[in-house]
Amino acid sequence: MVANISLWFLAAYIAVFVVFAYRAGEFQWLWGSVLLWLGFGAIGARLLPGLWGITHLSALYMPHFYIALASLFFLVPRWQKMPEKHRWQLSGGQAFLSLFALSGMLMSVVFALLLAMVWYRFPTGITPYVLPALLQMYLFEPVYWVCMQSVLMLLFYLHRVVIEKQPANCFSRRQLQLGFLLALFFQMAFVVGSLLRIRY
């Protein structure tokens, strides 16, 4: 039952991205994601035959990885500094895709940072328990990841559009810092919850 819910969330996540990217003409981002999926699936099929491949669930459970990495095609050419101090914008970026790309990248950076910190200290302390929890969240809990990203996007939108009365594709340094901390909190909360379940 849980697997079915996860698959539905994944299907909705992928469908939303494909529809918005196609309508906005973001074909580099779209095809970049597809090529990453095919590439990692092909490499995985050689390294772990029978366990990893293009059509295996293990590869399909990571669309956020492919989409976030390929979002560099969207973020890099559009990221511009605004005249105001410590403010940036995704010039010409559609509002939803701007929030989608930035929130996904923030969450991926936080995950990579946590993974690097745990890997650096491994296997001392509780890192042998933290590492599987992090990987479980990223690889096998798409529902939690999609919900985290949705909350981050919603908060960015409310802050920028509803409160500040500015376009959604504009971002301040403080907004980015708070988004980073919120993503860190979400991911640490998952890890702590996983550790508590192991212990008790």
pLDDT of residue 2: 55
| Ordered strands of the 79-81 beta sheet | 79-81, 87-90, 170-172
- Of the candidate ranges 33-42, 96-105, 117-126, 191-200, the one whose mean pLDDT is the lowest: 191-200
pLDDT at 200 over 60: no
pLDDT of residue 1: 52
Number of residues in the chain: 200
The tokens for 45 are: 């099929």
- Vertex 70 angle, CA 65 and 74, to 5°: 135
Residues 150 and 177: beta-carbon distance below 8 Å: no
pLDDT of residue 158: 94
Model's pTM, two decimal places? Answer: 0.91
Segment 16-67, tens digit of pLDDT = 999 999 999 999 999 999 999 999 888 888 887 777 777 777 777 789 999 9
Segment 107-157, tens digit of pLDDT = 999 999 999 999 999 888 888 999 999 999 998 888 899 999 999 999 999
What's the number of CA atoms in the CB half-sphere (13 Å) around residue 30?
Answer: 14
Residues 71 and 29: beta-carbon distance below 8 Å: yes
| pLDDT band of 199, cuts 50, 70, 90 | low
Query: What per-residue string of b and e applies to 165-175 under the rule 16 or more CB within 10 Å gives b?
Result: eeebbbbbeeb
pLDDT at 83 over 70: yes
Report the mean per-residue pLDDT for the chain: 90
From the CA atom positions of the chain, what is the Rg in Å? 18
Three-state secondary structure readout of 168-185:
CCEEEHHHHHHHHHHHHH
| pLDDT band of 162, cuts 50, 70, 90 | very high
User: Alpha helices of the chain — where are they, by DSSP H?
Assistant: 2-23, 27-47, 57-60, 63-70, 72-78, 95-121, 127-140, 142-157, 173-199
